[in-house]
Chain A
Amino acid sequence: MMPYQLFWGIFLLPLLSFVIIALFIRPFVKPESKVAGYITIAAILTSFALSVWGLITVLAAPGHEVAVPAISWAVIGDLRINVGIMVDALTVVMLVVVTGVSSMVQIYSQGYMQGDPGYHRYYAAMSLFTMSMLGLVLANNILFMFVFWELVGLCSYLLIGFWFHKPSAANAAKKAFLVTRLGDFGFLAGLLALYRAAGTFDISQLHAMAIAGTLGGAALTWAAIGLFAGAAGKSAQFPLHVWLPDAMEGPTPVSALIHAATMVAAGVFLVARMFPLFVGSPEALTTVATVGAITAIFAASMGLVMHDIKRVVAYSTISQLGYMMLGLGAAGIVVAHEGHVTLEVAKAATAIGMFHLFNHAFFKALLFLGAGSVNHATGTFDMRLMGGLRKVMPWTYTTFLLAALSLAGIWPLAGFWSKDEILLTALEARPALFVLAIITVFMTAFYIFRALFLTFSGEYRGGAVPEHGSTAHASHGAGHDAHGPAKPHESSKVMVVPLVLLAIPAVVSGFWNVTGGFSAFFGHGETRGFIEGLFEPLTHPLPWGALALALLGIFLAYAMYSKKWVSAEKIGSRFKPFYTLFYHKYWMDELYEGVIVKKTLVNGFFALLQKIDSKGVDGAVNGIARGAIAGGRSLRRAQTGQLQLYGLFIGIGILAIVIFVFMIG
């Protein structure tokens, strides 16, 4: 049994390491020193150990919840704001994911970021990020959740723009910040709408009100959709997904931690955390499920044609996040359809989406770290310049392969179990969305194995082109200069060990729910034997169908990119319109930047506002000033400065007074 105070420790340790690095290490220690990394890793490993202990504690606790007394923070009139943490199944699962992936990524970064001039800054930002993410997960109060929500957004900005001297990185950071901000506006609006309707920020109270029905109707729907807008921004859901592929400008470990496993999952977590509210509103649930399904297929289609390995994985992330949203929305629809929703049922319904989040975090972080390892060896992310790395990088290849199989949903790896449940639920809730999801299964298998074969099989195609490569190479730190792109080689131990460690959960994390244990942990469902559970899906037609589609995708990728039985170029030109559409990302960037931002906003609306401001508002102010000046100019003629004239008037005045006095007197 873990004392509840230690839950605070999980959150405070990374904060401590951030403070130490930012205030003491960075100003006073040479950038070559690795002490910042050791401090961060020590803090995060301790947090991880505490999280695992917390998980065990909560597993054993009655009702899978641990009560942690709150601390009163501010009282403003009737508004009482408590600082508290909420420890239930959802929290501890997220804690384990965040600290687990984070610790692997921090260790990996020791190798990847070695020798970078911004080494301390990197670890300071990573610590701050981990702290914020843990705070977001632990908060029992939606207002605090929002604060941490913004903090992770800030850290994401700092880390995407880590190599801020590159204009593309600086722009990507800005883009990520602004696009997620757009969603955050919805979050803030939803939060205020909730406070107006419910009068509290406390999550448990909001849950209770939503279930009891005191909070409902249009207010609840709009609040839920507002929250979902925030979640869509953070989790890169259509149509706010455009920032995530560009966010790959950041260091690869950052992509693995923030833009694959944790921060982008925060949106899914938010929906799961506020799920009792969503269950109360069928419209909101339909929105969540529909947006999720559309995002899943939409992003997967773009992933099919990208040349940049990190971008393929990034689109895959968006697509998988769409799956999670679909899982949440569909489960909610099923639960709401059955009628009479209790708090336990609503919370249990999040298990399907959260299980995919849990599995996805490990294999997707592994894919990113694998891509980083490949980049380390070749000096490029362009898959057209890779190939044949299987022989020189056996560890990276094996772990990447496992993660890819898991992502593709091959039995019995982790991805299979969660994806299977999502498909099943979607079929039950909305067959149309199920069709989108099952097509995505095929696309997922194809694009990830296309990346795998392009990178690891065939002949090595030379790595970074010298002139292009030198910039790409210099861009990620002086430490990489020692490795020539001409001869690829396996990465150092400090990078391979996290890969191997992450490969373990990427394979086995799915087994948690083979016995029904994960769903039961969230409060619902009976458990069964492991062996029975392991083969149970194979007695149904749906998993076979999904498996067949996934295998077909893998085979097609094998035929096109490994054996070259079918020419990829020929297929590309056969489906030219589609290829062009996917390759240009549906012209979404052009639409946003060209049509919406430049034409509509900058040249239209802003120009109009500017005109009103300069002509109307400024005109009024300047007009008044100009009038005063003109008045003054004509009036000052009266002040001749000629004393004699003044004297004359004084004399006339005195004379007038005297005469007046005489007349009266």
Chain B
Amino acid sequence: MIGLEHYLILAALLFSIGLYGALVKRNAVIILMCIEIMLNAVNIMLIAFSRFVVPAMLTGQVFAIFVIVVAAAEAAVGLAIIIAIYRNRQLIDISKINLMKW
């Protein structure tokens, strides 16, 4: 029987993978993808809690849909920025995008 714990472990794993990627990767597109992974980990958790703790209500699911909308918007803006940078500099390595530093 798959219980709440399994979902939570999956969500925690996914979140950790996403966090790790977001913190260590240099490719801006991969960082963006990792952020999406973290958001989806949160979605899994929201729905799992909703399903197991308050089954009669759909609050978690509704909230997850909002998160998906925000994630889509975020992806659109983020990709647009990345494309703009790429057009200027021909690179998306964030460790090299450091004009404002010091």
Contacts and interface: CB of A to CB of B under 8 A. Distances in A.
Contact of B23 (A637, A640, A648): A648
B100 A641 contact: yes
A644 interface: yes
A3 B101 CA distance: 86
B102 A636 contact: yes
Nearest to B98: A641
B94 interface: yes
B101 A647 contact: no
A644 B34 CA distance: 12
Contact of A647 (B22, B98, B100, B102): B22
A644 B101 contact: no
Chain B: number of interface residues, binned into ranges: 10 to 19
A295 B10 CA distance: 110
Interface in B1-52: 19, 22-24, 31
A651 interface: yes
Interface in B81-102: 94-95, 98, 100-102
A644 B100 contact: no
Contacts of B94: 642-644
Chain A: number of interface residues, binned into ranges: 10 to 19
Contacts, number: 22
A657 to B, nearest CB: 16
Contacts of A641: 98, 100-102
B23 A644 contact: yes
Nearest to A647: B23
Interface in A340-380: none
Contacts of A637: 102
A636 B100 CA distance: 13
Contacts of B100: 641
Interface string A269-301: 000000000000000000000000000000000
B34 to A, nearest CB: 10
A354 to B, nearest CB: 81
A51 B24 CA distance: 100
Contacts of B19: 647, 651
21 contacts: A636-B102, A637-B102, A640-B101, A641-B100, A641-B101, A641-B102, A642-B94, A642-B95, A642-B98, A643-B94, A644-B22, A644-B23, A644-B24, A644-B31, A644-B94, A647-B19, A647-B22, A647-B23, A648-B23, A651-B19, A651-B23
Interface of A: 636-637, 640-644, 647-648, 651
Interface of B: 19, 22-24, 31, 94-95, 98, 100-102
